[in-house]
Structure formats: C-alpha cells, structure tokens
Amino acid sequence: MKSKDPAKHTHARGSCECRKGITRRGFMTRLGVGAAGVAASGALFPQTAAAKEMEMIKAGDMAKITLRVNGREHTLLAEPRWTLLYVIREKLGLTGSKIGCERGECGACTVLIDNIPRYACMTLAVEARGAEITTVEGLMEGEDLGPVQQAFLEEDAFQCGYCTPGQVVAAEGHLRADPDPTDDEVLRGMSGNLCRCGAYPHIFKAVRSAAEKRRRGKGGEG
C-alpha cells in the first residue's frame, strides 16, 4: 500500500510523469486529443486567444479550449455542455476524480479551481478556462503521496475508497485556505463530501493529521 514500495518504481525518479497524472488509459486518450488539437489549430481559428474565448459556440459545435490541469496545459476540442469532470476523466484520462451523484451532492468529483474546492460535475469545462485546476493526481509530491493522501492512508480513512479522491482534494483545499482549523471547521470544511461506507471518524482524524503534516512540511514522511 505504501507509496514508497520500491517495486512500484519501474522508472528513474524525476523522469516520470505520474505526478502529472499520466496513466496508460490517459496516454491512450491523449493520442486522440492530440489529433483533435492539431485539427483545430489551423485556419479554423485565426483570431487571438482572448477574442476566441468571447465567441459564441453553437449548440453541438466544438471549440478549442485550453485547460491548465495539475500544472500542465491541455488544449482540446470541447462542446460547451461537457462538464469539467467529463473532460478531466474522459479526455485527459485523469480518472482520480470520480463520478458519483452528478448533481452536486456527493463530492466524489471535487477538484481545486484556483485552490478552491468545487464540484467538477457542476462546472462546465468552458467555464474553467484560465483557471489552475488541481485533481487528486496533482497532489502527489514526485513519487510520494502528498501529506493529505498520506494521512488518509495512515488513518485508514476509507473502506471502499470511491469517495476518497474527492475527500482528499476537499481536505487539501480546506487546509490551503485554513492551515490550522478547529474541529468544527474540519467538520464544516468536509461537509460537502459523502462517504457511503461511513468512514467519517477516520476521515476526520486524517484531516486533523494532514493539517499537522502540512504545517510540519514533511509531506510523505509522516
């Protein structure tokens, strides 16, 4: 389970793009995105980027959009009705963010938009242009788990694990805004994420512990 298991390190430290969320599935998807990106980059869109962003996208049409996810820019063709969650999972292959209720109630899809936790299922991808988007994949510190991830692991803060990426990202966002929360603030900060297994006491402990880890600045060594 530990992230530092040497058996998992099949490539040299520093050379991998796991941190950027590249998975086999993502790699395959990206090939498709790349092709679409090339097709869209020519004479179809001659205007400047800013002017383009202001233009009407017709129903059913796709437009070239650029999203900055986990520190990396992705340009792709997207329909305005695509949610950020759909694009992150199905077009960028970052499947850490989960599809739960798809109605803004469960929190499994939580991502950070400019450091602030939001539901990716209730955000149109076109609305996230120009923002810094962070998914659970972006919380890795190189090959190591980030402090919140590590705390969830140590505190056994999950059973089935489906809600965990959303819980971790919500906790991270909450702690970025409030590094030293009270118990009440932790409960409130985490209230937008449901856990169907009911691992709440452990999740609560994990967030407390993550706050400490982050303050100590010793991410993966807890």
Minimum CB distance to another protein smaller for 38 or for 49: 49
Q: What are phi and psi of 192, to 5 degrees?
A: -90, 10
Per the CB < 8 A criterion, the answer to whether 40 and 79 are in contact is no
Minimum CB distance to another protein smaller for 20 or for 208: 208
- How far apart CA 204 and CA 183 sit, in angstroms, is 8
Minimum CB distance to another protein smaller for 119 or for 152: 119
Q: How far is the CB of 123 from another protein (least distance, A)?
A: 7
**How many other C-beta atoms lie within 10 A of the C-beta of residue 11?**
11
Q: How far is the CB of 134 from another protein (least distance, A)?
A: 14
Q: How far is the CB of 4 from another protein (least distance, A)?
A: 31
Q: How far is the CB of 70 from another protein (least distance, A)?
A: 19
Minimum CB distance to another protein smaller for 183 or for 221: 183
For another protein, the binding residues (CB under 8 A) are 53-61, 79-83, 86, 102-105, 107, 110, 116-119, 122-124, 126-127, 170, 174, 188-189, 191-192
Q: Which residue has tokens 């490539």?
A: 11
Half-sphere exposure of 26 (CA within 13 A, CB side): 17
Per the CB < 8 A criterion, the answer to whether 68 and 133 are in contact is yes
Q: 63-69 and 132-134: which strand pairing?
A: parallel
**How many other C-beta atoms lie within 10 A of the C-beta of residue 2?**
12
The residue type of 205 is K
- How far apart CA 177 and CA 49 sit, in angstroms, is 31
Minimum CB distance to another protein smaller for 97 or for 219: 97
Q: How far is the CB of 144 from another protein (least distance, A)?
A: 27
Per the CB < 8 A criterion, the answer to whether 137 and 21 are in contact is yes
Minimum CB distance to another protein smaller for 41 or for 191: 191
Per the CB < 8 A criterion, the answer to whether 169 and 113 are in contact is no
Q: How far is the CB of 101 from another protein (least distance, A)?
A: 10
